[in-house]
A and B are shown apart, each in its own frame.
Chain A
C-alpha cells in the first residue's frame, strides 16, 4: 500500500482522493458515512487486499485486458489498476475515513467504468475483479450503487428533466 503515490509507474492516484478530509467535506445535509461499518468490512479482508494492493507494480499490463479501456480510446481512467487503486486503495490508505463526496467519486470508477466482467488479467495474479467487487460492496453498504440512465433519481435522469426522463439511451 505504501507505494500508491510514490511508485514510478503511470497509474495516477488522484490527489483529491488522498487528501485528508478538510474543507472539502460537504457541508449540506446528507446521509452520514458509516465509517465503523466500512472499517469492519476493510478489516475482514485486510490481509489479502493489502497484499494485492502492495503487489501492484504498475506494469499496466492489465489495461489491455479491459474491453472498456480499449473501447474508450485507451483512456487510463479505465485501466483496471487505476480503478482499484483509486477506490479500494484509497479506502485502505485512509482507513475508511472518507467523506460521502469521495465515495460518490468512487461510484463512477467501480460501477460506471467497470462492468465486472471478470476478464481483467494481472501477470502477478492479483485478483482485480475480486477487489473491484469488494469496493462495490463497501459502496453499497453506504447506499451508493450503480444507477442506470433510466433509474429514477439517477444523475442522468435528473439532468434530462421530467419529460425526457422516460427515454433510455437505447431509444434515442
Chain B
C-alpha cells in the first residue's frame, strides 16, 4: 500500500493561513490503513489545528469529511455539494489523491495534509518498510521475491557489489544485503541458476511512467491515446 505520514502541524497551519473555512478531506484507502489520513486522523488533526489556531487568535473553521478513496471519481463526487461552502481544501490522501481532488475542483486551493512516502508493507504498528519502487519492470520472478531495485542501496541487477560485510550492506550496516538474501533464498529453493544469466541495463525511463491501462481495457481508450 501507499505509505504516508502526517505533515507537521506548523506546516499545515502555514498553508491554511488566511483561509476562513477549510474542509479537511480524509481518505479511507491506504492512508487510513497506515494511520495517516483516515477519518480518525482527520478528526485528530482538526482538533489540533482548531486548538492551535485559536491560541494564535485565528478564527479558521475546519471541518472534516472522509471519502472512501480519493483516487476514484465516484467517491470524490460525494464532495461536490459541500466543497462550495469552503475557501480551501486540505487533503489527507496520498499525492495521487490530492492531485485528483485538485483536478476535480480546480477553482479551490487544495493543500496536502500528509507526505506520501513510498509503497511499502506493514511490519508492525507504525512501522512500514518500502518494498516497491514501481519501476515498471518487475524482476521478482528471478530474484526469489526480493526486489534488488528497492532493497539494494545501489539497485544492482547482477549480484552484490564488493561492499557487503558479514551479509550486511556497506551503505547501512544494519541493513542486510539484498543480493546475499537473494542468493540464499534461491539456493534454498534450488533455483540459483535463475540469476546466472546477466541482466542487461534496464530501461530507467520506465521510472517516469505515470499511467497504466490494463490490456483488456486498451480498446476502450485507444481513441484517446491516438489523439
> A129–B125 contact, CB under 8 A?
no
Number of A-B contacts (CB under 8 A): 48
Interface members, chain B 38-76 (any A CB < 8 Å):
38-40, 43, 65-69, 72, 74-75
- Looking at chain B's contact residues, is the secondary structure mostly helix, strand, loop, or mixed? mixed
For A116, list chain B residues within 8 Å (CB). Answer: 28, 68-69
Asked if B122 is at the interface (CB within 8 A of a chain A CB), the reply is: yes
> A133–B75 contact, CB under 8 A?
yes
Query: Using a Cβ–Cβ cut-off of 8 Å, how many residues does chain A contribute to the interface with B?
Result: 22
Asked if B202 is at the interface (CB within 8 A of a chain A CB), the reply is: no
Query: Using a Cβ–Cβ cut-off of 8 Å, how many residues does chain B contribute to the interface with A?
Result: 23
Asked if B124 is at the interface (CB within 8 A of a chain A CB), the reply is: yes
> A168–B125 contact, CB under 8 A?
yes
> B122–A145 contact, CB under 8 A?
no
> A148–B75 contact, CB under 8 A?
no
- Besides A44-B81, A137-B78, 10 other CB < 8 A contacts? A116-B69, A130-B74, A140-B65, A140-B66, A143-B43, A145-B28, A146-B28, A153-B40, A165-B125, A168-B125
Can you list 10 A-B pairs, Cβ within 8 angstroms, ordered by A?
A116-B68, A116-B69, A137-B67, A145-B38, A146-B32, A148-B33, A153-B40, A167-B124, A168-B122, A168-B125
Report B's interface with A, CB cutoff 8 A.
28, 32-33, 35, 38-40, 43, 65-69, 72, 74-75, 78, 81, 121-125
Q: What 4 A-B pairs have minimum CB-CB distances, sorted nearest first?
A: A145-B39, A166-B125, A150-B125, A171-B124
